[in-house]
Amino acid sequence: MGRRGRNQQLNKAGTIQTLYEKLKESKDFVVYHHTEPTPCVISYLKTMADPKILNESILPGLKKADLHSLEKIKEAIPVENISITDQAEKIKEKVLQGYVIIQMTENDNQVLLIPASTKVGRKVSIPEVEFSVVGPKEAFVECLDKNMNLIRKRVPLPELTVKELSIGKLTNTRVAVVYIDGIANEININTVMQRLKEIDYDQMIDSSYITQMIADNSNSPFPQLLDTERPDRMTEALVEGKIAILVDGSPHALTCPTTIVEFFSASDDYFLPWHLATAFRLIRLFAVLFSVLSTSLYVAILTHHHEMIPEELLATIISSRADIPFPPILEVIILELSIELLREAGARLPTKIGQTIGIVGGIVIGTAAVDAGLTSNVLLIIVALSALASFTTPVYQISNTIRLVRFPFIIGAQLWGLIGVSMVMAFFIGHLIKLQSIGTPFFAPIYPLRITDLKDAFIRLPFNKQTQRPIQTRPLKSERLQPSDANKKRDIDE
Amino acid sequence: MNKKRQSKIDLHVPENLLVTPFFVFFLIHAMQLGVGILSFETYIARDAGYDAWISLLIAGAAIHLLLWIVYNILQSSKGDIVSIHEETFGKYIGGFLSIIFSLYVLLLTLTVLRTFIEVIQTWVFPQLNVWFFTLALLLLIYYLVAGGFRMITGLCLISVLLALPLLWLKFFPIQAGDINNVFPIIDHTLVELLSSAKTSILGFLGFELLLVFYPFIKNPEKSKKWAHYGVFFTTIIYVISAITAFIYFSEKQLDQVNWATISLWKIVEFPFVERFEFIGIALWLYVVIPNICFSLWAASRIPKRLFNIRQTYMVGGYCLILYVATIMLDERQQIKELNDIANMIGFYVLMYIPVLFLFKKARDKVRDTN
Amino acid sequence: MKNNISVMVIIGSMFLTGCAETYSVEERAVIRIAGYDFVDEDRLKATVAIPQYGRDESSGTPTEKYQSAVDHSVKEAHENIQRKLSKPISIGKLEISLFNEELTKNGLKNIIDFLGRDPKIGRNSLLSVVKGETQGLIEAKYSESETTSKYIAGLIKQNINKSNFPETNLHKFLYAYYADGMDPFLPIIKRTDSQVEIDGIAFFDGAKMVHSIPYSEAFNFKIMKQDFNRGTKGIKYKEERIVLENIGSRVTYHVIDGIEHPRFLLDIKIKGFINEVENINLKLKGSVIKSVEEDFEKTLQAQSIEMIKQFQELKIDPLGLGNELKNRRRNFDLKKWEGVYPTVPVDVKIDVEIIETGITS
């Protein structure tokens, strides 16, 4: 109760005077008494207001003549969207955004709000997490307005609707829900809006907060909203009838509803011819399976089912393991943990050192471990490949899931060999069947089986076959293109 | 009066839990295919020799007929087995029969569970720690059944998708065997064929769960077609498996083999993996789990409908029964007896379906004239 | 929420109780080859070879360790071997089992039962009869680059796939052993100083070996037994030795007349080419080829009929004629068949077609 009460007190501005008192505590709050020719009080946050607007528009405007009322001043200053208000709540919000306040006297309740805010942030740059060789090279930045600009310029439609909320009792972060009206289903929109409104937390630093807070099952290791830093990918999602969530201060947008297979499709898949795209997507899916299962299969087969190893491989495997002092399970856990260690170290260190550590760790430690007889070289190859395979996922979040998920499999393998692996897999399949993304099934199009949605799941059919939007998003308008006669098969010499 | 209304409310299934008629195919098929298919070849060949595949077709046809009867019963009453029993036999006798049905389904669950663990003990881990393995398996099953009917439908679908590729492996034994073995066609008397058909029909047990999950189907009238396709598909798979075993084994040899289908996996070899039976048994878990989950769900749904108990408690209670029974039955002979008993009761249940149909018709007629 | 806790409990308990004694593959004595010798009426001697894989020897061949023990049954003998080893025996990768001739003649019933019953043994593993002691054959060193098991298994497999030996493995043996109207056969191998060679084919009546043919006649047996497309056969043609290379032989069994008085016709079609002629002056023209074909047909037919006669006299049926009859005619009666088998007329028709004579004429 206590904390909540205090938060509310912080939010309540009370009068302008109490606001002033609070702000005056900060060094960057400037109160300037203008005298000639117009006597008035100008106050603003030095760090948030643009000095250019102040010096070139506001001060010259006030110099013109003696202006007796705020209305007069408003007319004199050549800046758009000036407003006059006496609502303390609004004044607080605006002044914190960098607006300049003008009052006739310091105790006046009526104030003039002049937008002069300036925001520091980086420029739009190339995507770093979801890099693609071909295709657009723009990525979202931390500024919501810039991000909206990136979307609006791709979808010049009046139907592109942006609903804005502010979330976080202290941070008051702007959160935008974007969708195309007439395509996106209201049920989904309402669900998203409802869940966003229900968020009760004091801060909202990044969009990943939202992923965790509005997820249908927050205990699941699987992310239930897809995050992307690519405006083109988000545009694609919007066109399919999905809903995007943008958070001010986060360079990652969220799209929902999503499915498990979507996490394994890359933007590249749409920039390449469909057969190549399909082949690469299948390779990626295989890589994921390999990454999850390879080490557990190693444990299962070596510990319980050595009959399965073909004769030629048997000699290789036995001789590589001949002097290893640990059973396969320990060997695998040690090696998997050291790979995780390298990954964590690589992620925390500055880019350049990170690369060095990766090479040092990978090559030097790996070779030394094999030479010292601590691990077998067969396993080293498997673990390194499975680590590599887990990086092929286009979405970073799911690759974290894959990292974690393989450990239960290893335990299952140690206990009951392949049957243990099967049991863990059954658990995860069951879990995925249960899982929902904003109220729609997460395991689609496998279950519920949606054959029409399979055209862009494990394979990607050519664009002229993508006549319908996915059923998954329950779009209001599902037709994408009118199948034309031009695509019809022609007979020879016609 | 109040009680009657109560049961009407129970019968109503929320719209978002209904499944489309298409999935009835997977539900019926996945429930019919269990552990039986791993060993049925030996038993059906005992009576009709290598003509037994004809018996399978006869059995399949009989099941189609029974399915038609089940649909007839269900369509005229628009309920499930509990409401049908109540309408036909009154509250007490009907309720009693429903409980019997629930226990029968539980027995089916136990049979599948114990037999699968037996398979693991025979083929993979002779020293399996049964109490611990069963505990883990049942916890997994509890988790899955708690996901409700939607989850079970999904599992049935996954099971078909994962187990279907195993059919390709039949290519290996067919290649190694002699097709002439199944000839001459019909070398046995009709009596032999029918007695083998009686054995084969047990492989099709499980479709009667339709009596329980019927209210969960959206547009149930349209599901009839899919249910028949499901039975047909099961028949096809049984016939393919039987013929493959007949081609691969000589008749006397098959009689010696306990798990013919698994033995067939043994000869599958790829450059990177040999001895496919381990993978086969591990993948068979995806056939067995939906089977167990589905029957456990159905068994626990009946008490829920009868007494308005929370289904979660029933699932938990039944799991406990299954656990104790699985640990108590630890000899191969006992497991064989369990299978025999389950099969015998299963056969009576199949016989009971037409009886129920006649009773219901008679009852409807009486009510109409009144 | 409850579910998640229970999952945690399972995972936790798995760690605690799951660590039962397990042996990973390098901690097992993986037996690749096992041999069984006759000791006396109710005892046998088992010999096994266990490859010793070392870390540094991964490039070369592993050495092998040999163990043998005498006991009443296979399992007991294995148990006796186990007593002498530091690692548990694993029979799962058994590639080939050898039986010495004397043991084979006394019957293999218990060994067959053991091989058929144990789920760990692959159905593709090989069986073979050995002339002389199996122990000596297993313990001898043959090759620098191969283990004994790999060498012998390779020898037999290679002869099945690319040469005159008919297809055999554990499953085929069990199939014929249990089938009505069919008897099994196995290869016979023999050790000659520093190498092993295939000596012939052993024929069984049930589990007992009763007959054998030399390797030179294996081609005749194989063309009657199965379709195949390898192997060579040489005959005398007008005092010349001509060798026919088989590139495709097809055999069809015809059952003539009813179940009461069956007659058999084996229709064999061979396509081949001539790739060795002793006399360089012999021009292989159309007419000559024709007469060479006829000669081949006659010789092969006579040899095949002779071979079948021997089978009938010994009442063994490795070709599976009884099985054919059972599959072709209704109301097959095993007892009756066994009575008539020695006198059943079997005719062999052979059609040889020479389609190539090489690149010199």
Mark whether C242 and C349 lie in a shared domain: yes
* Stretch A268-290: mean pLDDT: 91
Q: What is the pLDDT of residues A140-157, one digit of tens each?
A: 999 998 999 999 999 999
**Cβ atoms of B266 and C123 closer than 8 Å:** yes
Q: How far apart are CA A172 and CA A170, in angstroms?
A: 6
Return the residue of C nearest to B144 by Cα: C3
Strand-pairing partners, residue C208, are C205
Q: Is the pLDDT of residue A483 over 80?
A: no
On whether residue C1 sits in a domain, the answer given is no
| Cβ count within 10 A of residue C192 | 9
CA gap A92, B311 in Å, rounded: 55
**Residue A211: pLDDT above 80?**
yes
Q: Which residue has the tokens 């024709």?
A: C290
| Domain, as residue range, for C300 | 227-361
Alpha-carbon gap: A461 to the closest alpha carbon of chain B (Å): 21
Identify whether residues C168 and C315 lie together within a single domain: no
Among B233, B257, B232, which Cα is nearest to B245's? B257
Q: What is the spatial distance between Cα A348 and Cα B239, in angstroms, rounded to a whole number?
A: 60
Residues of C in contact with A324 (CB under 8 A): 26
The residue of B131, B137, B181, B250 whose CB has the most chain C CBs within 10 angstroms, and thus the best one to mutate to test that interface, is B250
Contacts of C319 (CB under 8 A, 6+ apart): C224, C225, C266, C308, C311
**Cα gap C87→C89, rounded to integer Å:** 6
Of the CA atoms within 13 Å of residue B275, those in its CB half-sphere come to 22
Q: Does residue C251 share a domain with residue C196?
A: no
Q: Is C196 helix (H, G, I), strand (E, B) or coil?
A: strand
Over residues A164-186, mean pLDDT: 91
Same domain, yes or no: C209 and C80: yes
Which of A376-380, B72-76, B204-208, B296-300 has the highest mean predicted lDDT (pLDDT)? B296-300
Q: Measure CB to CB from residue A310 to each of B274, B281, B282 and give the nearest one.
A: B274
Q: Domains for chain B: give ranges and CATH numbers.
A: 23-356 (1.20.1740.10)
Write the pLDDT tens digit of every residue in A431-442: 999 999 998 999
| pLDDT tens-digit map of A316-330 | 888 888 888 888 998
Nearest Cα of chain C lies from the Cα of A415 at a distance, in angstroms, of 6
Any B CB within 8 A of A305 CB: yes
- Please check whether residue B316 touches A, CB under 8 A: no
Same domain? C237 vs C183: no
C150 touches chain A (CB under 8 A): yes
End residue of a domain, out of C173, C190, C215: C215
Identify the CA nearest to B160 among candidates B67, B38, B291.
B291
What is the predicted pLDDT for the residue at B103? 94
| Same domain membership, residue C361 and residue C273 | yes
For residues C32 and B281, give the distance between their C-alpha atoms in angstroms, rounded to a whole number.
25
* Residue C115 and residue C31 share a domain: yes
Contact: C119, B122; criterion CB under 8 Å:
yes
Q: Are C88 and C196 contained in the same domain?
A: yes
B342-350: long-range contacts (C-beta < 8 A, 24 or more apart)? B342/B107, B342/B108, B342/B110, B342/B111, B343/B202, B343/B205, B345/B104, B345/B107, B346/B104, B346/B108, B346/B202, B346/B205, B347/B198, B347/B201, B347/B202, B349/B101, B349/B104, B349/B205, B349/B208, B350/B66, B350/B201, B350/B205, B350/B208
Rounded to an integer, the average pLDDT of B220-249 is 92
Closest chain B C-alpha to C341 CA, distance in angstroms: 20
Are B26 and B231 a contacting pair, CB within 8 Å? no
**Of C195, C215, C235, the domain-final residue:** C215
Answer whether A309 sits within 8 Å of C95, measured CB to CB.
no
Question: Is B267 touching C (CB cutoff 8 A)?
Answer: yes
B57 burial class (0-12, 13-18, 19+ CB within 10 angstroms)?
middle
Last residue of one domain, picked from the residues C186, C215, C244: C215
Give the closest-approach CA distance of C121 to chain B in angstroms: 9
Nearest to B252 among C124, C180, C324 (CB): C180
In a domain, C20, yes or no: no
Domain membership of residue C174 (yes or no) is yes
Domain count, chain C: 2
**How many cross-chain Cβ pairs, A to B, lie less than 8 Å apart?**
90
Look at B183 and C330 and tell me if their CB atoms are within 8 Å.
no
Given a cut of 50, whether residue A8 has pLDDT beyond it is no
Per-residue pLDDT for chain C (361 aa), expressed as one digit of tens each? 455 666 666 556 555 554 456 788 888 888 989 999 998 888 889 999 888 877 655 455 677 888 899 988 888 888 899 988 888 888 888 889 999 988 888 888 888 888 888 888 888 899 999 998 889 888 888 877 788 888 899 999 998 888 888 889 999 999 999 988 889 999 999 988 788 989 999 999 888 899 999 988 888 898 888 888 888 888 777 777 888 888 888 888 888 877 778 888 989 998 888 877 766 666 667 788 888 888 888 888 999 999 999 999 998 999 888 888 888 877 788 888 888 888 888 889 999 888 877 776 5
User: A306 touching B, CB under 8 A?
Assistant: no
Query: What is the arithmetic mean of pLDDT over A75-84?
Result: 84
Nearest CA in chain B to C331: B187
8 Å CB contact of B285 and A449? no
pLDDT at A226: 93
Cβ contact, residue pair C179, B266, below 8 Å: no
Ranked by mean pLDDT, the top range of A383-387, A462-466, B152-156, B365-369 is: B152-156
The per-residue pLDDT for B99 is 94
Task: Indicate whether C67 belongs to any domain.
Answer: yes
Distance from CA of A293 to the nearest CA of B (A): 13
Based on the domain organization, do C62 and C101 belong to the same domain?
yes
The pLDDT tens digits for B316-339 are 999 999 999 999 998 889 999 999
Residue C7 maps to a domain: no
pLDDT score of C284: 67
Distance, in Å, from the CA atom of A122 to the CA atom of A259, rounded to the nearest integer, reads 32
Q: Are residues C140 and C256 in the same domain?
A: no
What ipTM is given for this predicted complex? 0.93
Output the average pLDDT for chain B. 88
Cβ-defined contact of C179 to B250 (cutoff 8 Å): yes
Looking at residue C311, which CATH number applies to its domain? Answer: 3.30.300.210
- Contact between B183 and C3 using a beta-carbon 8 Å cutoff: no
- Chain B CA closest to residue C124: B267
**pLDDT-derived band at A102, boundaries 50, 70, 90:** confident
Check whether residue C197 and residue C305 sit in a common domain.
no
pLDDT of residue C293: 86
Give yes or no for B142 touching A (CB within 8 A).
Answer: no
Nearest to A304 by CA among C48, C23, B188, C255: C23
Q: Does C17 map to a domain?
A: no
- Quick check: is C127 in a domain? yes
Instruction: Identify the band that residue A448 occupies on the pLDDT scale cut at 50, 70 and 90.
Output: confident
What's the mean pLDDT when you consider all of chain C? 84
pTM for this model (two decimals): 0.90
Contact B253 C178 (CB under 8 A): yes
Lowest mean pLDDT among A361-370, A418-427, C209-218: A361-370
pLDDT, tens digit (0-9, with 9 covering 90-100), for B163-211:
888 888 888 888 888 777 777 777 788 888 888 888 888 889 889 899 9
Which positions 423-462 of A are in contact with B (Cβ < 8 Å)?
Answer: 423, 426-427, 429-430, 433-434, 443, 446-449
Chain B: list its partners (3+ Cβ pairs within 8 Å): A, C
Q: Are residues C256 and C299 in the same domain?
A: yes
DSSP assignment letter at C194: T
Give A30-65 pLDDT, tens digit per residue. Answer: 888 888 778 888 888 888 888 888 888 888 888 877
Residue C39 lies in a domain: yes
Q: How many residues does chain A have?
A: 494
Show residues of chain C in contact with B142, CB under 8 Å.
6
